[in-house]
């Protein structure tokens, strides 16, 4: 079942186009994460879905019903804001109950739902407090509670964890995941943090400049990025990109990557001579691999569980290499780096993924 459909949806401010020709189906019960760099339009898109922004082109439909002109309160959704947006003059209980009272629900039902949400989020003891008496994490819970009590068909989250410190963020992330598992409601979640995106999402939508770059499961995005932007955006540390020349021969194709000896690759579906090959830092090995090159260690970043090496190849190209067994290296050491062909991603001169034929 499709919970939400965007068809050619767009948003323009005068001549400036923020969201262009968006086509997307959100399945019922899925956790969809919108991710992208700042200014990519992800928050605007979320607000359009919420009904807080008018759309200028196309349609938005929920459960098969076009909701373009339906006010936010009638869309049967809840939203958690980045700043939590708790009403500062109301107690936690009142904050939770406010929307329900506006829906004119019977008092007993309001109390039942508030108590239930408070129990799920373990904020029963905070019900009589005002938001200013709460810590960041507690405010976050109350904001989620306010979303839960409405028992909506769709949850919207606008960077809800970005105001929390690192430790709390990890904890709340886990709690959000378990909340999703428990409620099973459709959720759309905006973030610029790819770790949040990867860990929470059933599917991720990568946005750039108001357009969808790729939609897929976290694994699909990581293992088969459709273009250079997605390849660079998903995965930390960032993927290595090496500009290369591609030559077609009688027995396949040959790639000359800067700093590496030319190597044979499967036949690729392109006539381009200039391509970019990408490889994850974790796929590069020291002293191993069928394709190898010499380089000098420029920087060693020891992270405890792994070490990140910045290695300058003789061609001037810098490669990031991450791994466990590299802790003993130091700056200035000469090393041999190598990789296997299976770990390579190929992109044409327009940045689109190339497949072997």
Partner 1 sequence: MKTNATDAALDSELAAAAEIAAISRKKREAQARRGRAWKHTFLIAASCVMLYPLFWLLSASVKPENEIFTTLSLWPSTFQFDNYSKGWNGLPLSFSVFYINSTIVTVLSVIGNLLSCSFAAYAFARLKFTGRSFFFSLMMLTLMIPYHVVLIPQYVEFLKLGWVNTYLPLIVPKFLASDGFFVFLMIQFFRQLPRELDEAAEIDGCSPFKIYWRIILPLSLPAMGTAAIFSFIWVWEDFLGPLIYLNDIKTFTVPLALRLFVDSQGESAFGQMFAMSVTSLVPVVIFFILFQKLIIRGIATTGMK
Query: Largest Cα–Cα distance in the chain?
Result: 79
Decide: is 132 part of the binding site for partner 1 (CB under 8 A). yes
Give the nearest distance from C-beta 339 to partner 1 in angstroms. 46
Residue of the chain from 6, 32, 48, 77 that contacts partner 1 (CB under 8 A): 77
Q: How many residues bind partner 1 (CB under 8 A)?
A: 30
Residue of the chain from 12, 112, 129, 130 that contacts partner 1 (CB under 8 A): 130
Interacting span for partner 1 (CB under 8 A) from 8-16, 125-133, 192-200, 204-212: 125-133
Residue of the chain from 2, 70, 85, 245 that contacts partner 1 (CB under 8 A): 85
Query: Is the CB of 84 or the CB of 263 nearer to partner 1?
Result: 84
Decide: is 103 part of the binding site for partner 1 (CB under 8 A). yes
Cis peptide leading into 237, omega within 30 of 0? yes
Contact between 281 and 307 under an 8 Å Cβ cutoff? The reply is: no
Cβ neighbors of 305 (< 8 A, separation 6 or more) are 324
Decide: is 106 part of the binding site for partner 1 (CB under 8 A). no
Residue of the chain from 2, 52, 327, 341 that contacts partner 1 (CB under 8 A): 52
Decide: is 145 part of the binding site for partner 1 (CB under 8 A). no
Give the nearest distance from C-beta 132 to partner 1 in angstroms. 5
Q: Among residues 161, 145, 244, 193, which one has the least CA distance to residue 37?
A: 193
Q: Locate 317 and state its tokens.
A: 């190209």
Strand-strand pairing, 252-257 and 240-249: antiparallel
Helices (H), the chain: 42-50, 92-102, 107-121, 136-148, 166-183, 194-200, 218-223, 228-233
Contact between 299 and 307 under an 8 Å Cβ cutoff? The reply is: no
Q: Any idea which residue has 């905070």 for tokens?
A: 126
Residue of the chain from 56, 163, 296, 315 that contacts partner 1 (CB under 8 A): 163
Interface residues with partner 1 (CB under 8 A) are: 47, 50-52, 71-73, 77-79, 81-89, 98-99, 102-103, 130-132, 136, 139, 146, 163
């Amino acid at each position: 079942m499709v919970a939400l459909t965007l068809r050619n949806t767009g948003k323009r401010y005068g001549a400036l186009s923020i969201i262009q020709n968006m086509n997307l189906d959100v399945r019922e019960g899925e956790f969809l994460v919108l991710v992208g760099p700042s200014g990519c339009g992800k928050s605007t898109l979320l607000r359009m879905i919420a009904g807080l922004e008018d759309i200028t082109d196309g349609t938005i439909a929920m459960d098969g019903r076009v909701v373009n002109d339906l006010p936010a309160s009638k869309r049967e959704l809840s939203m958690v804001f980045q700043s939590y947006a708790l009403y500062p003059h109301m107690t936690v209980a009142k904050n939770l109950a406010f929307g329900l009272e506006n829906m004119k629900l019977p008092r007993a039902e309001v109390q039942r739902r508030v108590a239930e949400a408070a129990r799920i989020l373990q904020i029963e003891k905070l019900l009589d407090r005002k938001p200013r008496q709460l810590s960041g994490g507690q405010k976050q819970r109350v904001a989620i509670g306010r979303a839960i009590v409405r028992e909506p068909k769709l949850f919207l989250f606008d960077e809800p964890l970005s105001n929390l410190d690192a430790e709390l963020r990890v904890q709340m992330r886990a709690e959000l995941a378990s909340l999703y598992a428990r409620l099973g409601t459709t959720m759309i979640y905006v973030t610029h943090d790819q770790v949040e995106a990867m860990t929470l999402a059933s599917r991720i939508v990568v946005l750039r400049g108001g357009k969808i770059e790729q939609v897929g499961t976290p694994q699909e995005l990581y293992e088969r990025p459709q273009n250079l932007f997605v390849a660079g955006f998903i995965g930390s540390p960032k993927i290595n990109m090496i500009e290369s020349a591609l030559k077609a021969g009688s027995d396949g194709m040959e790639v000359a990557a800067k700093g590496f000896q030319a190597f044979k690759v499967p036949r690729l579906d392109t006539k381009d001579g200039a391509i970019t090959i990408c490889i994850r830092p974790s796929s590069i090995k020291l002293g191993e691999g069928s394709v190898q090159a010499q380089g000098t260690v420029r920087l060693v970043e020891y992270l405890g569980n792994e070490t990140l090496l910045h290695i300058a190849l003789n061609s001037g190209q810098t490669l990031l290499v991450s791994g466990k067994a590299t802790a003993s290296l130091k700056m200035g050491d000469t090393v041999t780096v190598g990789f296997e062909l299976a770990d390579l991603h190929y992109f044409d001169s327009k940045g689109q993924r190339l497949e072997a034929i």
